[in-house]
Structure 1
Amino acid sequence: MSSLSASTAPPSVSSSALEGTSEAFEAATVTVPLSLPDFYTLAVSDVMGWIVIGTFLLAMALQWRGVTDGATYLAAGGWALFGVFWLWVAPHFFYEAQSPLQTILSIAALPLCLYTGYLLVRGRTSLLVLSNAVAFMGLIYLPAETVPVFRTWLIETTAAQTHFGMELLGSSPGLNEGSNGYLSRFDFDPDETATGRTTYIVLACTGIGSMSIFGGLIAAVAAPLRRKLAAFALAVGIIWILNLFRNVFVGLATPHGWFQYDPLIYVTTEWMGSVPERTSFLVAHNFIAQTLSIFALIGITYLVIKVLPEVLEPLEEALFVLTGTEYDLAEAVGAQPVSDGDSQPVRADGEGTDVGSDQPADRP
């Protein structure tokens, strides 16, 4: 999410850069694009993102060819670049998005990514599955951000469905063009609302970020295609529905001022440097919705594990990076191995084979 000025109009910027790392945009009666410095931050982040994903993909190609040492060192370099990427966008989350959670996570990502690369170089090649997951995540997310037709469809479809949800609750503001150029702005009359403000949908409001996370994890593990597709459909379906609930909640809380209470106004104005009228948006979106999304992702992960327990492998690697401790998540969550009748278990180090396949066993 990024704050928008309602008074001055800086030079226009490309919509892809505008949406790159944003969660949602709040608009006053008159809305304008991001500030020029923030535009450059997001534009450079797009380029950096493609470089990072390209590095991971090349490492994955070397792994498939059996060049483990080359894949390991290249993936380690990719993790270092990934950490720099997150540090680069941290100012955007702090100054523009005014999101404490995203700011903290983006800053913490640098040492964690560097540590992951260090572990790879020191011989923990099992982390390559986590590298592959990041590569697939990027392949899902970045095209959605940079291909205009796909981006337009996602944003405007989400906006239309969110508006339908508002109508079910007795509110029908209509849709018009937002500052991002899409038919995605909820056209509340500022004279008839408590705050005089409204919201509009951008790419990240579609849930594509969360979908790419699960898509990457699912694609990176060795498992039959049937169960991979089932797990992906389950995750995407739940994310899409919950995301619409979130959009409706934020979209109604903002204009109607559901959280315009003095203690909350004090927090958003004195601690976050916002204007009083934005309090309901910041509380609904940055505090409530983002916090609940963490619990939602945990719940979706549990359901995906029931269908595709193989995703525990990259999750265990991620936990090792965070804690330095080996975990057996299968035992912790009670996940049972799935017998498909056409495959044998594949170890994390790649030993073992998939019956009926002439590909290396560690190929996702």
Structure 2
Amino acid sequence: MIRAAYLHIPFCTHICHYCDFNKVFLKGQPVMEYLQAMEQEMKRTIAQFPTDQLHTIFVGGGTPTALDIRQLDFLLTSIHNSLPFVADDVEFTLEANPNELSREKLQLLKEAGVNRLSIGVQTFDDELLKHIGRTHRQTDVLRALEAAKAVGFSNVSIDLMYGLPGQTLAQLQTDLALAFSLDVQHISAYSLIIEPKTVFYNLMRKGNLSLPDQEEEAEMYEEIMKKMEENKYNQYELSNYTRPGFESRHNLTYWNNEEYYGIGAGAHSYVNGTRNVNARPLKKYIELIQQGKLPYIEHHEVSETEQMEEEMFLGLRKIEGVAKQRFYEKFHRSVHDVFAEVIENEKEKGLLEETATHLRLTHRGKLLGNEVFQAFLGTT
């Protein structure tokens, strides 16, 4: 049974230099028409792929908080009208930009049942924020967090980035120290990845982007893991750290290789063993909805072999690793029956270790995770 839904809001008031998500400038866009199309997609999706309740809802982007109060209210009302869930149990997350979290918006979110905020901080260094194309500043973050607490939010996550152009280890250490002083419940810390069709990609191609080298980036990751542990944040996934009980249930859906709905332009879904991709351009997405269709432009029925591979490279992102019993229950085969040679090779390299119940990355394996994940692809 499907327990998770992702909703994509593609509008931004500014495009960050590193972002390759499906997004458009807010100004002049058919925002209400898009939100109405999303409402229809939600209803149509639930009708075709029913579930009894949802445990997690995640509204991401783009920037959901780029919506004005009227638009945000319509979105939240349409979620309540279209998706079945138990309000007392659901983890309802909304991504936010610090400089767009007004007290009025926070109050609306709280009253509509949003109980988790994911705030895009990236760095507290104002010069670095300018350099990566962010429009908020450190003071905006502090103000937003204070307002969120005042409204009653008690589950707040912040995103940090490292390996940024010109970023030093000392700057990262300052970011971490300030993050810990804010006493948020969850911190995600992602390394910068240069993606095609971004400002940074174009600068890199021209030789105008100065990035930390691999050794410096690894040192930053080591520092993050060390400081998180010292400050009582448990690393439960390669890039995610939490106070006890505040793990992201929605993201665990992905890492546990479970199915989920994906609503909105460019959204991905995984339902009935099939991965679907929605139309990305707003006009095409809205047209497909108005024609009475689901807006899928790609379908891929996931074979059992692919499911087993995904179980490994997604599950190994979790610090606890892949549960051997869970693998057997899902596929009626032991993980060693399927991947014996790969497992032994990665163990010999010192990248993988085994307990009585799990296969998991070693400390060194965390630094070279992509190599381990790649080893499980195309081997069965």
**More helix per residue: 1 or 2?**
1
Q: Which has the higher strand share?
A: 2
TM-score (norm 2): 0.26
Output the TM-score relative to the length of structure 1: 0.27
